[in-house]
Structures are given as structure tokens and as C-alpha cells.
A and B are shown apart, each in its own frame.
Chain A
Amino acid sequence: MLHSIDITKERCPMTMVKVKLKLSQIGDGDTLDVLLAEGEPLESVPRTAEEQGHSVEEIRKEGACYHVIIRKQASGSSGTVSR
């Protein structure tokens, strides 16, 4: 299942916070399409997703923004949120 989130208007640290919370809501194996701006979000979101065990399947430029497609892995550590 494909989910999406737009963090182009967010600033640090809410860029990473929003992605982390969204990943905690979706199912294992689902993909998350993160629309983000270049610079810090483009650097940090794919890197931290991979560090947490998820896989970054695609990074695609669209206009001034980027789509980062992340597949949530069961082994990924996105669990510790209060929901």
C-alpha cells in the first residue's frame, strides 16, 4: 500500500518527526512517498530511514522538490511512539 506525506513546509526537527510518526502508522512492507525540499531534509530523511532499517527505493526530483520513496521494513525501528 502506498502512503504519502508532504513535509516541504516543515523545518527541522519536524521534518524527521513527521516522517517517523507516519512510518509508525503504516504497515510493514508498505511504501511511504515523502515529498520534501532539497537541502537538509533531502540529506537527513533518506539517511535516517536507512539507519532505522527501512529501504529507500527511489529518490526522484519533481520541480523544486523531491519524492523519496521509503519501504517500511518489519525489522525497522519505527515502533516507539505513543499511539
Chain B
Amino acid sequence: MERKKLSIVCFSGDFDKALAAFTLATGAAAVNWEVKMFFTFWGLNILKKKTGRSWIGSGILARVFNFLMGGKRTLPLSRLNFGGASPVLMTGMMRKSNVATLDELIDAAKELNVDFVACEMAMHILGIKKDDLDDHVQSVAGVATFLDASKDGHIIFI
């Protein structure tokens, strides 16, 4: 049986958009779709090993950018962020409603073997190395490789 394919371009580093991306990814993988997530620009923040603010990257500007953007624990809500308070409150509301949190969805995506691909170009700009990212990132690739791997499938941009 040929598996359907879903590729998600994770461009945004917003908390709520990351939730949407991982909800789609895990849902599709759970019904046996072959799922690939391509992380670029702000989306790379979701995958940083340093989940808070840290001075990673090569070059002063890259280090400042990476510090200001932070990692998974500092993702802002796309609206009504209130200085970072809202994602914490939202996570509490999700737990209360038995809805999977972002951490749980990311863990589920890994368990379901969702393929994490990091954008080579964005990593170069931000001075991020593969070692700075989650160990589940199997490959660093460009657009051509991503498109080739996603052909005959659905591509969603978040």
C-alpha cells in the first residue's frame, strides 16, 4: 500500500503555529502518512537544543539574533503574547483540557518517525550548526532536495 505524503514547511517560530504544524504532522503520521517537516528561518528556533535564550551562532549579529529569538521555551504567541506570558498560560490551559502540549507533540512526532529536515540556507545565515539542533534532525537540505522528497505529496506552509 503506497503511503500518502505530507510535507510541512515550518517557517514560523510562533508558538501557536508550531502547535498547528506538529498537530498536523503527528495526526498524519498516526494515519500512516509519510511526513516530512522542513524547518527554515524562525522555525529553526523550535529545534534548538538550547531551549531558552542563548548566544549560539557564529558572528556577533547571528549570536544576538539567536539570543533574542531564543528556543522552544521562548516561542511567542502570534497574537496577545503579553511578553511571553501567554504561551505559558496556553500550555496550562491545554494540560487542563487534556490537549497535547507542544513538547508532547514533538515527542510524538519523533516516535512516529516524522522526518525533521533543517534548511541549510537559513542555518548558514543564522550561523547555526547541525549540532545546535535536536538530534532527531536527520538531514540538512536545500529547497531542491526538499521539493524532490515531497513530490507527489501535499506541501503546507506554516
User: Contact: B99 with A77, CB < 8 Å?
Assistant: no
User: Per a CB cutoff under 8 Å, which of A9, A44, A77 touches B3?
Assistant: A77
How many positions in chain A have a CB within 8 Å of any CB in the partner chain?
22
> Quick one: given A16-B27, A16-B30, A53-B1, are A11 and B97 in contact (CB under 8 Å)?
yes
Q: Is B110 an interface residue (CB 8 A)?
A: yes
23-44 of chain A: CB within 8 A of chain B: 44
| Cβ contacts under 8 Å, A10 to chain B | 98, 100
| Cβ contacts under 8 Å, B97 to chain A | 11
| Cβ contacts under 8 Å, B111 to chain A | 21, 81-83
Encoded as 1 (CB less than 8 Å from any B CB) or 0, chain A from 54 to 83 comes to: 000000000000000000000001101111
Q: Is B23 an interface residue (CB 8 A)?
A: yes
| Cβ contacts under 8 Å, A16 to chain B | 27, 30-31
| Cβ contacts under 8 Å, A20 to chain B | 29-32, 112
User: Contact: A51 with B104, CB < 8 Å?
Assistant: no
Q: In the complex, how many angstroms separate the beta carbon of A21 from the nearest chain B beta carbon?
A: 6
Chain B residue at smallest Cβ distance from A12 = B27
User: Contact: B98 with A9, CB < 8 Å?
Assistant: yes
User: Contact: B112 with A77, CB < 8 Å?
Assistant: no
User: Contact: A11 with B27, CB < 8 Å?
Assistant: no
User: Contact: B1 with A13, CB < 8 Å?
Assistant: no
User: Per a CB cutoff under 8 Å, which of B104, B110, B113 touches A14?
Assistant: B104
26-63 of chain B: CB within 8 A of chain A: 26-27, 29-32, 34
Q: Is B108 an interface residue (CB 8 A)?
A: yes
| Cβ contacts under 8 Å, A12 to chain B | 23, 27
User: Per a CB cutoff under 8 Å, which of B34, B98, B100, B113 touches A13?
Assistant: B100
Q: In the complex, how many angstroms separate the beta carbon of A38 from the nearest chain B beta carbon?
A: 16
Q: Chain A CB within 10 Å — which of B32, B34, B108, B110 has the most?
A: B32
User: Per a CB cutoff under 8 Å, which of A14, A51, A82 touches B31?
Assistant: A51
